[in-house]
Structure 1
Amino acid sequence: MAETSAAGSAPASETPVSEGEIFHGAPFDLKRIRKSVFASMLESKSRYGGKRIAAIDADGREVSFNDLTKAAFALGHALKAGTEPGEAIGVLLPTGAGAIISFYALTAYGRVPAMLNFTAGERALKAACRACKAKKIITAHRFIELGELEELEAELAKDHELIYLEDVRENLSLMDKIAAAVGTVLPGLVRSHPDPDSPAVYLFTSGTEGDPKGVVLSHANLLANVEQVRDHIKILPTDVLFNPLPTFHCFGLTGGVLVPIGLGVPAICHPTPLQAKTIVKRIAETKATILFATDTFMNQYARAADEGDLSSLRFAVCGAERVKDETRSALRRRFNLEIVEGYGLTEAAPVLSVNQPQNNRPGTVGQLMPGCQAKLVPVEGIDDGGQLHIKGPNIMKGYIRPTNPLALEAPEGGWHDTGDIVSIDEDGFLRIRGRVKRFAKLGGEMVSLAVVENCATSLWPDNMHAAAAIPDKRKGEQVILLTDYDKADRADLVAFARNHGISDLAIPRKIIHVDSIPVLGTGKTDYGTVQKTVEAMMAETPAPAPEPAE
């Protein structure tokens, strides 16, 4: 059974899956991306002016292109000591000027930033460093203190050299300062000139099902996505972009740092997406016009915002999870704000498709980015959709793993299997049905766990819900719903499904109440923990009574 909307009906005019059919985005000029990420930043400085503001930190500090260039050359010269070109150096910092300068400082001298997820825990961070052979980690005393990360700091220090930004700034040598001065005037004499196809950054999967995988993105991959956004979405010279997403997440790095710097618009940095009340006030104060977020965070911002707090926004770009109808309608009703939904993955640097403000089709994730190709591989039990494989200039070089450090696992033939079930309509708009792993097989039919969650959300929109599938002797699998709504009743879901023409198979066999639904640092539901929680709780409870025969 294909995924349906909460109302129960699949959209019309979806393209049937045809083995071998390839869908194409708009044409794309590859010449624009034959440079390094640092060279691209210098081009933006030349194009928009050195005094142009590149970023504004959480404390209001403004960083111009001149400031960014000078700081990157000075810091990078200090950091390169004891390392080789192409060597990975970890970056353990929140979104802000420190993270941006550190990223460009490393790339200026041909080192490769490994962006570390400080919410992932000691085991995952050490595994990430093993995968890319990072021996040094850049962080900050103030970040460790504010984040109460002293235990993590102590564990990482056992195996890695921790470099603190405050210490480096206080101890810049004369040569560091000379490099900054020369680099600001004649950058070509100081900076490195890496191959555009060489690694520019290492990012890491969440590791919820084991050790995290490293995703290797080249300079060309990252710049391709910046240029694709330039071609696809109209960004105005007067725009101001607000980014609360972490730079260890590709959406936060590319969308929140590289895109605004590449397009010459200021990026308002916020160190965490969790401070809803502070964020909506900063949006109002900075008169931000574009916001990058997820559905979960947009919901929180809408609740925290007073009238006028979000009035400066032209639109919000949401990815990482499906945008709920309730979120979209609440923002439109209260703030006249449109959400532009997109679809991305780290392996695509990350944006693969996105709606446009002037061509926004709610319920879809827009059309393919320029230069991208897609094909749908049929999946047994799913009629209107297939498993999405993608190819294009923004698709990663490959994976690296802790078990075989820096051994690149490249996508076969350049095609990456996303693991997502997708349909594409006659106008080229993509609709995400769900992860292949997030379909349950009940009585020979495929049921999307996302549909189960959508039904719960339609009934109880103010709460969070997550579905999981576990083995069932009679039907193959059974669906269990976790919810933080303590009054959720299965009978209400039964009535909702039948009133909206939704198959009974999409009704969870059991509802389990929990205090909170686990989420990752990026705001996405942590389905790995959800699955383990369901398995543990079901093992402790008696089996439900058999369902009546149909």
Structure 2
Amino acid sequence: MNTAPSPAARASGHRDARPLDARTIVEALLIRATGPHADEPLLTALDAGGEPVERLTAAGLDTRARAVAAALLAVGGVGDRVIVPAMPGLDFHVGFVGCLYAGMIAVPVPAFRASATRGSARADRLSAICGDCAPCAVLVSSPEAAEAADPDRLPSVAWVAIREAAGPTQAAESAEAAATPALPDPAALDPDTTALLQYTSGSTGDPRGVIVGHGNLVANQTAMRDRCEVGPATTIVSWLPCFHDMGLCTAVVLPLVSGARTVSIEPAAFVRDPRVWLRAIAGEDDVFTAAPDFAYDLCVNRVSAEERAAIDLTSWRVAINGSEPVRAATQRRFATAFEASSFRAAAFSPGFGLAECTLGVSLSPSLVPTVVAHYDRDALAEGKAVPVAPSDDGVELVGCGPALERTDIRIVDPHTRSALPEGGVGEIWVHAPGNCRGYWGRARESEEVFAARIEGADPEAVFVRTGDLGFLEDGELFITGRIKDLLIIGGENYFPQDAEAVATQAHPAFAHQRAAAWSRGADDREVAVVVETTERDPERLAVALRAAGIAVAKAIPATITMYAVARNKIPRTTSGKVRRRECGRQTRAGQLTPLGQWSSTAQVVQQKAEGDTSWGQHR
């Protein structure tokens, strides 16, 4: 029997309910904003130096969200879409929750930049998103921010300034909130209504708006809370951009369903100085974080041994590593470097997820050693996971944990749609309450991705097709690649991240750098690999390229062409994933400036094969 208070009772100030009883995050905030801890800090924003610049209690967030909701309802209605860009301080958090209070659909996007001229990738992406979802409004921090963002680019859309609507951060009440006693809208308390459109980052194609329901958010992050034992004593320290699904769930949704609090850092501040993140972690008692793989390498590269010794990371209990791919070498390197900081290697929790399932699908439990194993490279190419001893012929893979609670993971042959046995490599399919409803305005594609059924299985069981390849072993999920990125050589499947890992490990000039590999040529016998480097000496670079090219050629039976480019030149998604196909396109278009090149054939592929002239000669 369900004895939990009704949404109406909670909204009117029921003080005995807990956020973890809530069915939507708005309901969770209402419970917290009227409970005994309503006036304790919920959200804290740090500046570039790590000093607090803004704090919000649950009661304060509730008040400001109501005011933003009232301002939005003056220019739109329930179910309308609202663009919510990344903003400084806690403005994104306020704006996002304000959209939900109004019963509107939030559309998180990257920050507006005055320097993003029309025709740039950033401006084009924003234009495409707005054309797809037809927003009624755009939220900005202030009227000045609206002017700087060039409002003429969206002439028919209202621009709503959060700080003008909500008033001072510390205001206990606002005229707008008092004038709208019906807020939050009933839609905000209904788990079946749409909360946001999460536009995918576009690692393998054009961004698409994933329809995320209120119930999806709570179900997925409740499972994350339970797996990681996040509670009122936990502090979530996050620098992740809130417009991305991992950042949004980590910094906004998870604290509301768990009772935890959040300390937020601007992404740019972390990239400039990772010590800000580490010091914020050291300043708390029980810490949960989530970050992509590259963040841990950045900490090792940017923080000196002396500085590591001065930082105490004993309180870091959960360090989620969720990116593509998760590298055991990265975790080992970080654990070794920060051993002097009392960091525990078992704090690492590798995981797998995607926007189509809200976020998390599988995750290693906290303070349990990461599962790492080696598998035969040739067998993987044939679709079988065969364990081997560590060797040059083996591929090291990191286990991304067992499925989250109420999540069913199946490995399926993408062609026959038949389930594969344990150890079979196939497409990862997911059945879970966090599975979203589809892509906005794309009914046919939504049916294919979000309503998949396994041949010969229960027809009522509907799965999300992830497009990712992997296998299960003893309940542990291992990721091997993406279907669209596969290198098909002579009818056999090879994984691009395998070639990329071999290339970056072949010479110190490429160590701990990014790489991108893709098929080129019409006969599926050529593979190109671009690797970033800081090396500028032509002779040393030539030696490094040759070593990397030979190593890749030994792993993949194809003609190999290696390119070296400067750091941060390989195109990536907003979450840091390499955009391999886009890298290939930029290569063909001559949009990347090569520092060096090597080919396993005597004659370098010329303009006729690749369609560009800038990459046609050895350097």
Q: Give yes or no for contact 2:110–2:243 (8 Å, CA) kept in 1.
A: yes
Q: 2:544 — aligned with what? A: 489
Q: 1:411 — aligned with what? A: 450
Match of 1:345 among 354, 358, 370: 354
Q: 1:130 to 1:495 in 2, by over 3 A?
A: closer
Cα distance in 2 between the residues matched to 1:451 and 1:277 = 31
Q: 1:295 to 1:520 in 2, by over 3 A?
A: same
Q: Give yes or no for contact 2:103–2:185 (8 Å, CA) kept in 1.
A: yes
The residue type equivalent to 2:413 in the other structure is P
Q: Give yes or no for contact 2:212–2:436 (8 Å, CA) kept in 1.
A: yes
The residue type equivalent to 1:468 in the other structure is A
Q: How far does residue 263 in structure 1 lie from its aligned partner after superposition? A: 1.1
User: In the alignment, is residue 66 of structure 1 matched against residue 59 of structure 2?
Assistant: yes
Alignment of 1:195-206 (within 5 A): 195-206=190-201
Match of 1:389 among 429, 438, 441: 429
Q: How far does residue 324 in structure 1 lie from its aligned partner after superposition? A: 2.1
Q: How far does residue 532 in structure 1 lie from its aligned partner after superposition? A: 1.3
Cα distance in 2 between the residues matched to 1:209 and 1:67 = 40
- In the alignment of these two chains, the number of paired residues is 500
Cα distance in 1 between the residues matched to 2:46 and 2:211 = 29
Q: How far does residue 389 in structure 1 lie from its aligned partner after superposition? A: 1.4
Q: 1:54 to 1:538 in 2, by over 3 A?
A: closer
SS at match of 1:365: coil
Q: 2:122 — aligned with what? A: 121
Q: Give yes or no for contact 2:75–2:137 (8 Å, CA) kept in 1.
A: no
Q: 1:300 — aligned with what? A: 298
User: In the alignment, is residue 424 of structure 1 matched against residue 472 of structure 2?
Assistant: yes
Q: How far does residue 431 in structure 1 lie from its aligned partner after superposition? A: 0.3
User: In the alignment, is residue 53 of structure 1 matched against residue 93 of structure 2?
Assistant: no
Q: 1:112 — aligned with what? A: 105
Q: Give yes or no for contact 2:234–2:287 (8 Å, CA) kept in 1.
A: yes
Match of 1:213 among 193, 200, 208: 208
SS at match of 1:115: strand
Q: Give yes or no for contact 1:255–1:292 (8 Å, CA) kept in 2.
A: yes
1:86-136 per-position Cα deviation (integer Å, ceiling 9, x unaligned): 111110123741111111111112111111133761221122123222121
Most deviating of 32-41 and 160-169: 32-41
Cα distance in 1 between the residues matched to 2:444 and 2:153 = 18
SS at match of 1:191: coil
Cα distance in 1 between the residues matched to 2:445 and 2:67 = 28
Q: 1:325 — aligned with what? A: 328
Q: 1:271 — aligned with what? A: 266
Cα distance in 2 between the residues matched to 1:388 and 1:337 = 31
SS at match of 2:424: strand
Q: 2:514 — aligned with what? A: 465
1:16-70 per-position Cα deviation (integer Å, ceiling 9, x unaligned): xxxxxxxxxxxxxxxx787332112223445662023211012412211111111
Cα distance in 2 between the residues matched to 1:216 and 1:128 = 13
Cα distance in 2 between the residues matched to 1:180 and 1:105 = 11
Cα distance in 2 between the residues matched to 1:492 and 1:153 = 49
SS at match of 1:514: strand
The residue type equivalent to 1:324 in the other structure is R
User: In the alignment, is residue 480 of structure 1 matched against residue 477 of structure 2?
Assistant: no
Cα distance in 2 between the residues matched to 1:508 and 1:270 = 45
Q: Give yes or no for contact 1:202–1:216 (8 Å, CA) kept in 2.
A: yes
Q: Give yes or no for contact 2:212–2:437 (8 Å, CA) kept in 1.
A: yes
1:354-407 per-position Cα deviation (integer Å, ceiling 9, x unaligned): 111233424111111111112222258998311111111001111014x89999
Match of 1:368 among 403, 416, 435: 403
Q: Give yes or no for contact 2:87–2:140 (8 Å, CA) kept in 1.
A: no
Cα distance in 2 between the residues matched to 1:366 and 1:210 = 27
Q: 1:166 — aligned with what? A: 163
Match of 1:511 among 562, 576, 579: 562
Cα distance in 2 between the residues matched to 1:270 and 1:538 = 33
Cα distance in 1 between the residues matched to 2:559 and 2:291 = 29
Q: 1:288 to 1:138 in 2, by over 3 A?
A: farther
Alignment of 1:170-181 (within 5 A): 177-178=174-175, 180=177
TM-score for both structures, normalised by structure 2: 0.72
Match of 2:584 among 531, 534, 547: 531
Q: 1:140 to 1:153 in 2, by over 3 A?
A: farther
Cα distance in 1 between the residues matched to 2:559 and 2:276 = 37
Q: 2:311 — aligned with what? A: 309
Q: How far does residue 525 in structure 1 lie from its aligned partner after superposition? A: 2.2
Q: Give yes or no for contact 1:452–1:506 (8 Å, CA) kept in 2.
A: no
Q: 1:224 — aligned with what? A: 219
Q: 1:153 — aligned with what? A: 150
SS at match of 1:279: helix
Q: 1:65 to 1:346 in 2, by over 3 A?
A: same
Q: 1:200 to 1:95 in 2, by over 3 A?
A: farther
SS at match of 1:268: strand
Q: How far does residue 302 in structure 1 lie from its aligned partner after superposition? A: 2.8
Q: 1:294 to 1:239 in 2, by over 3 A?
A: same
TM-score for both structures, normalised by structure 1: 0.81
Q: Give yes or no for contact 1:44–1:263 (8 Å, CA) kept in 2.
A: no
Q: 1:142 to 1:55 in 2, by over 3 A?
A: farther
Report 1 or 2 for greater relative contact order, CA contacts < 8 Å, sequence distance ≥ 6. 1
Q: 2:483 — aligned with what? A: 436
Cα distance in 1 between the residues matched to 2:144 and 2:492 = 49
Cα distance in 2 between the residues matched to 1:219 and 1:297 = 30
Q: Give yes or no for contact 1:490–1:508 (8 Å, CA) kept in 2.
A: no
Cα distance in 2 between the residues matched to 1:361 and 1:536 = 41
Cα distance in 1 between the residues matched to 2:425 and 2:517 = 21
Cα distance in 1 between the residues matched to 2:515 and 2:66 = 46
Q: How far does residue 447 in structure 1 lie from its aligned partner after superposition? A: 0.8
SS at match of 2:210: strand
Q: 1:470 to 1:143 in 2, by over 3 A?
A: farther
Q: Give yes or no for contact 1:203–1:346 (8 Å, CA) kept in 2.
A: yes
1:392-445 per-position Cα deviation (integer Å, ceiling 9, x unaligned): 1001111014x899999872253211101110002x110000001121111221
Q: 1:299 to 1:164 in 2, by over 3 A?
A: same
Cα distance in 2 between the residues matched to 1:315 and 1:220 = 25
Cα distance in 2 between the residues matched to 1:332 and 1:143 = 45
Q: 1:496 to 1:211 in 2, by over 3 A?
A: closer
